[in-house]
Amino acid sequence: MKKTVISVLAVAVLLLTTAAPAFAAPKIWNLNIHNNTEGDVKITLTGPDNYSFTMEKGKIVKPVEEGEYKYTYTACGEKFSGEIEVDSDFVWLVIDPCDALPIYIKFVIDSHLDAGIAVEMAGPQTYTLTTALGHNKFLSIQAGFYIYSYDACGTTITGEIRVPKNGTGRLILYACEQLANHPPSLPTSAQIATNLRIGSHYGFPIRITLNGPGVGYSFELQTGLNRFNVVRGDYEYFYTAYGVFHSGTFTVGEGSTVFTISPLR
C-alpha cells in the first residue's frame, strides 16, 4: 500500500515538473549614454525595469533590460524627457552640451519720421520693433549682427547694424529729406535675410550649428519642420545624434530653402 502511494506521488511530481513553463531570463543590453555637459546629470529610466543614476561628463555604458523606456533628466537648467527603445548594444542616449548664454542689451531707435514705423530685424533673433517720432527704447535685444528693413519715404530701406555686447545699440531713422546725406549701411544681396526650413526626422531635439557667409547660427530643431531667418549664402552644418557627428553643406538662395536631417542618412 505504501509503495502505491509513493508511486502516485512520484508521477504527480513528474507531471507538474514537465508542465511547468520555462521562464527565459530577460535580455540585457548595454545602453550607451554620453553626457556632453560640464556637470553631473541624474537620469531616470522607466520601462520594463526602472533605473535612476547620476553620471559625470563623458560616456558610460549602462546594462538595462530590453524594451521601451521613458527617460527624464535635468541639464543646463532645463528638464528633458523622451522615449527610447533599447534593443541592441548600439543604442545611444546623448545629452547635448549647454548653449552659451545669449547676451541681451538695451537698444535705441531714434526716429525722425513723423509716422509710426515698424522696423524688422533679422539676426540671432527676429524682431519687429514699433517706433514713433523721437526716442524709442527697447530693453532686451540679443546682441549680434542684424539686417534691418522698414518702409518709409515711398520705399523700403534696408541696412546692416551690429548690436554690441556692451553698451547700447542705436539705430537712427532719418527724415526723408535727410536720407540722401545719410545712406544706410547696405547689405550685399547675400546678406539679405531669407527663409530657411530644416526638417528633422529624429524623435528628440537636435542642436545644429550653421557656419555661413560671415555669420554663425545655433538652432534647436524639433521633430518635423523648423523655420528660421538667415542670410543668403553657402553654409556648413554640424550636429551630433546617437553619439555620431554629422556634417554637410547647403546653400540658401532667394525664396525659401529646405533641407532635412535624418538618422537614415
Cβ atoms of 67 and 58 within 8 Å: the answer is: no
Mean pLDDT (the chain) is 81
189 pLDDT more than 50: no
Confidence band, pLDDT 50/70/90 cuts, at residue 190: very low
Q: Which fold has domain 191-261?
A: Immunoglobulin-like (2.60.40)
Domain locations along the chain: 26-95, 104-187, 191-261
pLDDT of residue 242: 82
Instruction: Copy the grid coordinates of residue 47.
Output: 520601462
| Higher pLDDT pick, 50 / 169 | 50
Listed in sequence order, the residues at least 6 apart from 252 whose beta carbon sits closer than 8 Å to its beta carbon are: 194, 196, 212, 230, 231, 232, 233, 235
pLDDT of residue 55: 92
pLDDT of residue 184: 66
The CA-to-CA distance between both ends of the chain, in Å, stands at 77
Average pLDDT value for residue range 143-153: 85
Pick the most confident of 88-97, 182-191, 201-210, 251-260: 201-210
Rounded to two decimals, the pTM is 0.41
Q: Give the C-alpha separation, 145 to 213, whole Å.
A: 12
Q: Give the C-alpha separation, 82 to 226, whole Å.
A: 19
Q: Which of 159, 215, 163, 213 is nearest to 187 (CA)?
A: 159
Confidence band, pLDDT 50/70/90 cuts, at residue 202: confident
| Three-state DSSP class for residue 15 | helix
Confidence band, pLDDT 50/70/90 cuts, at residue 52: very high
The domain 104-187 is placed in CATH, from the list 2.60.40.10, 1.10.150.20, 1.10.287.70, 1.10.10.10, at 2.60.40.10
Q: What CATH number should be reported for the domain whose range is 26-95?
A: 2.60.40.10
Q: Give the C-alpha separation, 104 to 140, whole Å.
A: 5
Average pLDDT value for residue range 117-128: 86
Pick the most confident of 19-33, 157-171, 183-197: 157-171
107 pLDDT more than 90: yes
Average pLDDT value for residue range 170-183: 83
Phi and psi of 191, rounded to 5°?
A: -95, 0
Which CA distances in Å does 154 have to 34, 149, 150, 157?
A: 56, 13, 11, 9
Confidence band, pLDDT 50/70/90 cuts, at residue 188: very low
pLDDT of residue 29: 92
Confidence band, pLDDT 50/70/90 cuts, at residue 138: very high
